[in-house]
Chains A and B, each alone.
Chain A
């Protein structure tokens, strides 16, 4: 799999530095940039689960669904947004007024001390509902100033909102940018509402793209951290997203998140009904790898709902209906106690990070993974011997699935609702994605159906050679082995990256990491 591990980012930089339009894209420049920005950015993203991969193991966020109106139509969206059983952006169960959203956020932040971020992401576009969006932010900033505020937008109304965003101390903005070419845009956006008219097709895409790019530049100029989300639509913008990635990086976006299209006929979206397919996990990973040479890539996105609550991948929204929230007494004393719990948790996480850092003897503060390729991350410190020669010369990369909790190998195989996927090489383990699964063992009489669910889980783990979990039963062990996936329960409660590393080195010693026959033929 050498073609996969050969990230452009680890090729030597050209001698004269910036030689192309993608200024700042080479490894050396990016490292320099990161170390320059590091102190400031580390501090700003260290508790934000959507901006820091490391933080997503420890911190939770919620989305307040206060913004129903939208000013554009995307072909992957349907404005009927009330299904409780679906998890996809734009879907919510209960629309909130700003004062309700503030109350709900306070209730969640009292019950979940990991809560660090309130985001507004829809179900329409937050900036097409500026009064509601900013009223929510104002209300929360007054009652719980420790909670970071964050907004996600399609960008059409962004340039006009930048002043207001800065005034409200919004430190993180996500713009969904699916294209920079209006001909591509015309296949994604059927219309926009612009200056009191509905505008269709290419003309609409042209305006939207111009507004997105202008908004991005204005936010960067204000020092606001920008994440760019892109939906990968095979045959429409998949190849084009490499150019998008180069351009948004050059303009100063901090992080790029390429997400797979979700399209099913029953969602009633254009793509779903017209049979547009979604990308496979492998196609998604290949595109993310291709973009990574130019950009910090986000690999841990769970494409959550516009009313998601809790840790990423663990939605607790159903516990916080407005009916339950309204019944709570949010007295000043209660809120002060909640704040104390959050503060204590953050101090605990900070202490754990410091301990981990000290243990790793990293040459630089390495507690925050800034979504850099693993080759340049903290792990490099533990692989001094591999420096100066290309990675993976002595062993190919291996995909490992991990039943994880809090950054540790901590979940029972049968209890895992998702597996984190790590790509492991001599240079270390790097998170490259996640795979969702149905519960194999629900612990009740429905376990008779476990057979089918297990088969589905094994299919979901396609391409992985190892599954790391805290514990695993006899039956799934045998079935996984038969499917060519080695179960491993020998590292319970160990740190994921370290455990993956140990397993990879064991495989290397056992002679299992020679290039595969089939890959040689392909190469």
Chain B
């Protein structure tokens, strides 16, 4: 049972000091979670701390590859609106 940081991570360091298991490793191109150490904060906190502070939607996933912060959940930008804006920018 462990969480995973994926490539959309921006290496902002916010998660690292919060981890009760010191499972977060500074690495490039992006930070990583040591699966052997990660407990998903069970017994320490009500919610996994890395996912509770991470500012990037989708950057932290569980073992089923499900994002703990799905698109739109942190920015408040509806995914359809985001996609439309990207299309408009590309068309310029």
Chain A interface (Cβ within 8 Å of chain B)? Answer: 68-71, 73, 75, 79-81, 95, 124, 128-129, 190-191, 193, 196-198, 265-266, 270, 272-274
Nearest residue, chain B, Cβ from A67: B13
Name the distance in Å between B15's Cβ and chain A's nearest Cβ.
8
Complex: A273 Cα to B85 Cα, angstroms: 6
Complex: A80 Cα to B82 Cα, angstroms: 15
Name the distance in Å between B13's Cβ and chain A's nearest Cβ.
5
Q: Which of A69, A73, A75, A266 contacts B13 (CB 8 A)?
A: A69
Name the distance in Å between A37's Cβ and chain B's nearest Cβ.
38
Given A265-B85, A273-B81, are A198 and B52 neighbors across the interface (CB < 8 Å)? yes
Contact B75 A129 (CB under 8 A): no
Contact A190 B46 (CB under 8 A): no
**Residue B77, interface by CB 8 Å:** yes
Nearest residue, chain B, Cβ from A123: B12
Chain B contact surface mostly? loop
Contact A75 B14 (CB under 8 A): no
**Residue B74, interface by CB 8 Å:** yes
Contact A273 B77 (CB under 8 A): yes
**Residue B47, interface by CB 8 Å:** yes
Q: What residues of chain A lie closer than 8 Å to B53, measured between beta carbons? A: 69, 71, 193, 198
Given A70-B55, A196-B52, A265-B88, are A273 and B82 neighbors across the interface (CB < 8 Å)? yes
By size class, the interface of chain B is 20 to 34
Q: What string of 1s and 0s marks CB contacts (under 8 Å) between B44-58 and chain A?
A: 011101001101100
Complex: A273 Cα to B55 Cα, angstroms: 17
Q: Which of B13, B49, B75 contacts A190 (CB 8 A)?
A: B75
Q: Which of B14, B75, B89 contacts A70 (CB 8 A)?
A: B14
Name the distance in Å between B91's Cβ and chain A's nearest Cβ.
12
Contact B47 A197 (CB under 8 A): yes
Contact B10 A79 (CB under 8 A): yes
**Residue B43, interface by CB 8 Å:** no
Name the distance in Å between B36's Cβ and chain A's nearest Cβ.
23
**Residue B39, interface by CB 8 Å:** no
Nearest residue, chain B, Cβ from A82: B10
Q: What string of 1s and 0s marks CB contacts (under 8 Å) between B31-67 and chain A?
A: 0000000000000011101001101100000000000
Complex: A128 Cα to B13 Cα, angstroms: 10
Name the distance in Å between A269's Cβ and chain B's nearest Cβ.
8
Q: What residues of chain A lie closer than 8 Å to B46, measured between beta carbons? A: 196-197
Q: Which of A124, A196, A270, A274 contacts B12 (CB 8 A)?
A: A124
Q: Which of B10, B14, B76, B77 contacts A128 (CB 8 A)?
A: B14
Q: What residues of chain A lie closer than 8 Å to B12, measured between beta carbons? A: 68-70, 79, 124
Nearest residue, chain A, Cβ from B14: A69
Q: What residues of chain A lie closer than 8 Å to B13, measured between beta carbons? A: 68-69, 124, 129
Q: What string of 1s and 0s marks CB contacts (under 8 Å) between B1-32 and chain A?
A: 00000000011111000100000000000000
Name the distance in Å between A481's Cβ and chain B's nearest Cβ.
34
Name the distance in Å between A476's Cβ and chain B's nearest Cβ.
29
Given A70-B14, A124-B14, A265-B88, are A197 and B52 neighbors across the interface (CB < 8 Å)? yes
Name the distance in Å between B68's Cβ and chain A's nearest Cβ.
10
Nearest residue, chain A, Cβ from B88: A265
List 9 A-B residue pairs with CB atoms under 8 Å apart, sorted by A's residue number.
A68-B14, A95-B11, A193-B52, A193-B53, A196-B52, A198-B52, A270-B75, A274-B77, A274-B81
Nearest residue, chain B, Cβ from A187: B76
Contact A265 B10 (CB under 8 A): no
Q: What residues of chain B lie closer than 8 Å to A124, measured between beta carbons? A: 12-14
Contact B49 A196 (CB under 8 A): yes
Contact B76 A81 (CB under 8 A): no
Known: A124-B12, A124-B14, A196-B47. 11 other contacts (CB 8 A): A68-B12, A68-B13, A69-B14, A73-B55, A79-B56, A193-B14, A196-B52, A270-B77, A272-B85, A273-B81, A273-B85
